Homo-oligomer: A and B are copies of this chain.
Amino acid sequence: MNPPLRLVPAEPGLSRYASLAQALRARVVAGEWPPGSALPAESQLASEHSVALGTMRRALELLVEQGFIERIHGKGTFVRQGLAGASMLRFFRFDGGTGEVPLSRILQRSLVSAPAAVSRALGIGTGEPVLRLHRLRLMGGQPCLLEELWLPLDLFEPLADDDLSTWDDLLYPMFARRVQVHVHRALDDIGFAQLSATQARHLGLPAGHPCAQVQRSAFDLTGRCVELRTTRGDAHAFHYTVTIT
């Protein structure tokens, strides 16, 4: 791969290495280096962008901090594969939870027209087809989380009618492998609500029971929203720690 020489645009307000990081980021987003692939050597990148090696190193450090690339000791610098789990267990603690991945049971998979709020969040036209999943997650045989997911069909079509028994318990690594969708960043919005009768039945709790509700928007490297997800679990199992400095 021999990209043309790229000068760093002099953006006002951005330091030289921050502009450089932005230029490198654009090359990643454009697909020049796919997720999981290795970047060229620092010296080569520095010469391609006509900057000093030290400037290139600072730009790469910034991209590491931003979670865009990662250094693997003794191997090199790689475009990050995306979030492996982004586990909802960061928000919940269940009895008998021993750190294992919860089992996943797809309760329902359907192809529907995107409601207005969903199409807005996913950035697709109202009424465009989306894949809707209802999924139950279990630990030690006990239902613990109930999830509703919305996935844009243009990206997820191969998962619309395949054999559900081949699905993994963790979706993001499966999305990456099966449809090359890499979740790079997630925004989780936490609130409290009460379970409807149907939701409560799935979780083995009484109707109206208080629940914590996590509404996630997940984004790929280009910043496209590729998944909407609402996760509900017993409010009494909710637990989250924040450090403020």
Interface residues of A (CB under 8 A from B): 66-67, 83, 86, 184-192, 210, 212, 235-236, 238-245
Q: Which residue of B lies closest to A211 (CB)?
A: B192
Q: A185 CA to B242 CA in the complex, in Å?
A: 11
A186 and B238 contacting across the interface, CB-CB below 8 Å: no
Question: Ordered nearest first, which 7 A-B pairs have the shortest CB separation?
Answer: A67-B245, A192-B235, A186-B244, A188-B242, A190-B240, A210-B210, A185-B245
Q: Is A238 within 8 A of B185, CB to CB?
A: no
B245 touches A189 (CB 8 A): no
Looking across the interface, which residue of chain B has its beta carbon closest to that of A190? B240
Question: Is B86's CB under 8 angstroms from A244's CB?
Answer: yes
Within the oligomer, what is the number of copies of this chain? Answer: 2
Q: What is the bound-complex CA distance between A190 and B188, given in angstroms?
A: 15
Expressed in whole angstroms, the Cα–Cα distance for A239 and B214 within the complex equals: 10
- CB of A73, distance to nearest CB on chain B (Å): 13
> Which residue in chain B gives the minimum CB-CB distance to A93?
B191
CB distance from A114 to the nearest CB of B (A): 23
Contact residues in B for A245 (Cβ distance below 8 Å): 66-67, 83, 184-186
Partner pick for A187 among B191, B239, B241, CB 8 A cutoff: B241
B210 touches A244 (CB 8 A): no
- A236 surroundings in chain B (CB, below 8 A): 192
Measured CB to CB, the closest approach of chain B to A63, in angstroms, equals 12
| B185 A210 Cβ-Cβ under 8 A | no
- Measured CA separation A86–B192 after assembly (Å): 22
Closest Cβ neighbor of A66 among chain B residues: B245
Which B residue sits closest to A184, measured CB to CB? B245
Residue of B nearest to A214 (CB): B242
Say yes or no: A210 contacts B187, CB within 8 Å.
no
Residue of B nearest to A67 (CB): B245
CB <8 Å contact, A239 and B189:
yes
